[in-house]
Amino acid sequence: MAAPRSRYHGGQSFTIPTMPKLPAASPPFVQFEDEFSQGLKDIFEEKIVFNKLLGLKVTSLQADRVAARMIMRPELIGHYTHNRVHGGVISAGLDAMGGLAVMAAIGARHMDEAPLQRLQRFAKLGTIDLRVDYLRPGVGEYFELRAEVLRLGSRVASTRMEFYGADGRLLSAAAAAYIVS
pLDDT tens-digit map of 106-151: 999 999 999 999 999 988 899 999 999 999 999 999 999 999 999 9
Please report the pLDDT score of residue 159 as a whole number. Answer: 98
Please report the pLDDT score of residue 26 as a whole number. Answer: 47
Please report the pLDDT score of residue 143 as a whole number. Answer: 97
pLDDT tens-digit map of 47-70: 999 999 999 999 999 998 999 999
C-alpha closest to that of 60 among 76, 37, 29, 79: 37
Helices assigned H by DSSP within 12-141: 34-42, 49-54, 87-109, 115-119
Q: Name residues whose C-beta falls within 8 Å of residue 39's C-beta, 6 or more positions apart in sequence.
A: 115, 116, 119
E strands, the chain, in order? 5-9, 12-16, 57-61, 65-71, 77-79, 84-85, 126-134, 142-152, 156-165, 170-179
Q: Which of 15-29, 93-107, 149-163 has the lowest mean pLDDT?
A: 15-29
Please report the pLDDT score of residue 69 as a whole number. Answer: 98
Please report the pLDDT score of residue 181 as a whole number. Answer: 84
Please report the pLDDT score of residue 24 as a whole number. Answer: 44
Read off the pTM. 0.83
Res 163 pLDDT > 70: yes
Q: Between 87-109 and 34-42, two packed helices, what is the crossing angle to 10 degrees?
A: 150
Please report the pLDDT score of residue 79 as a whole number. Answer: 81
Please report the pLDDT score of residue 162 as a whole number. Answer: 98
pLDDT tens-digit map of 7-50: 555 556 555 555 455 444 445 578 999 999 999 999 999 999 99
**Sign (positive or negative) of CA dihedral 117, 127, 161, 159:** negative
The residue-averaged pLDDT of 154-158 equals 96
Burial of residue 78 (CB within 10 Å: 0-12, 13-18, 19+) is: middle
- d(CA 128, CA 97) in angstroms, rounded, equals 14
